[in-house]
Homo-oligomer: A and B are copies of this chain.
Amino acid sequence: MRLKPKDFMKLLIRPVIVVSTISKEGVSNAAPFSFNSPVSFSPPIIAIFSNPKHDTWRNIKENKEFVVNIIGEEFGPLMKILEKDYPYGVSEIKEANLTEEPSRKIRPPRIKEAFAWLECKMIHSAVLGDHVLIAGEIIEAEVKSEVFDKVVLLEKAKPLCHISGEYFSTPLTVSKFERA
């Protein structure tokens, strides 16, 4: 069946990440994003795609720094709080009863309840359609040791993934396929 092209994301499943940033005044902000992808191995780069009106972009434009908090399915019920448009200056992290933790190398805080953290510095941005590409070099990567063995342990980390609207999924089983 043919779909409207704008419905294409209903065919794809992607990890939800929560991006934490900090304003000039030192107020932290956090928002979930499912438009994101690794970009490059060397240097290590990740891309997120943000609504340009969003506080996330406002803060990153100001100071270039952000944390990609990689989250499990227990964040599912928090989506409606984390993505809400609070007045600039209100921290979604506090509203969602999550815990801020200092990052190692940048000013925006980590969210303690995530299972992994990527500390990033923006190296490139570009407006693409109704979103803005924000490419960040990863300068620090850390994971809860109990959810990692060679790669993330899905059955323990239970990564939250998004399809569209209210539809989410958590991949749990690993399969191995030979590579070229």
Q: Which of B150, B166, B175 contacts A73 (CB 8 A)?
A: B175
List chain B residues, Cβ under 8 A from A179.
79-80, 83, 165-166
- Interfacial residues of chain A within 131-179, with CB under 8 A of chain B in the complex: 131, 133, 135, 137-145, 148, 150-152, 154, 159, 161, 163-179
Q: How many copies does the complex hold?
A: 2
Question: For the complex, what is the distance from the CA of A135 to the CA of B129, rounded to whole Å?
Answer: 10
Residue of B nearest to A145 (CB): B1
Chain A contact residues (Cβ within 8 angstroms of B): what range?
A: 35 or more
List chain B residues, Cβ under 8 A from A142.
1-3
- Interfacial residues of chain A within 13-69, with CB under 8 A of chain B in the complex: 13-15, 34-47, 49
Min Cβ gap A54→B in Å is: 13
Task: Assess whether B163 is in contact with A174, with CB atoms less than 8 Å apart.
Answer: yes
A37-B47, A141-B7 known; A180 and B83 CB under 8 Å?
A: yes
- Interfacial residues of chain A within 102-130, with CB under 8 A of chain B in the complex: 116, 118, 123-124, 126, 128-130
Min Cβ gap A139→B in Å is: 6
